[in-house]
């Protein structure tokens, strides 16, 4: 499973989103997620990948998170 697929799986599971609506360029806004949702996402991602992420303004899309994970792995 690619990092992107895993992130999508986390989002679908935790936030009840439809996998088909999520692409690398999806923004939090596109997905209807607010800052509290992204905090949870970061924690789930950290648990799943064993990395430590900083959620800042540079992380606006699903792809940004995927890139950050891959840079740390």
Partner 1 sequence: MIHTPICDLLGIRYPVLQGGMAWIADAELAAAVSNAGGLGIISAMNAGGDWVREQIRKAKSLTSQPFGVNIMLASPHVEEVAQIVVEEQVAVVTTGAGNPSKYMKAWLGAGIKVIPVVASTGMAKLVVRNGASAVIAEGGESGGHVGELSTIVLVPQVCDAVDVPVIAAGGIADGRGIAAAFALGASGVQMGTAFLVARECNVHQNYKDKVLKAKDIDTMRTGIRSGHPVRVLKNQFARDYAKMEFDSNVTDEALEQYGAGSLRKAAVEGDNQQGSFMCGQIAGMIQEERTASEIIKSIMAQTEQIVTGGCPWVK
Q: Where on the chain is the footprint of partner 1 (CB under 8 A)?
A: 15-18, 21, 31-32, 36-37, 40
Structure tokens at 73: 């792995």
Q: Least separation, in Å, of the C-beta of 18 and partner 1?
A: 5
Closer Cβ to partner 1, 12 or 51, answer by number: 12
Residue positions annotated with a catalytic role: 34
Q: Decide if 62 contacts 24 (C-beta within 8 A).
A: yes
Q: Are 31 and 22 in contact (CB under 8 A)?
A: yes
Least separation in angstroms between residue 2's CB and partner 1 is: 22
């Amino acid at each position: 499973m690619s990092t992107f697929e895993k992130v999508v799986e986390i989002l679908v599971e935790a936030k009840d989103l439809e996998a088909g609506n999520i692409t690398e360029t999806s923004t939090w806004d596109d997905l209807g997620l607010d800052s509290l949702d992204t905090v949870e996402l970061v924690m789930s991602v950290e648990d799943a990948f064993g990395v430590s992420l900083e959620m800042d303004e540079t992380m606006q899309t699903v792809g940004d998170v995927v890139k950050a994970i891959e840079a740390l792995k």
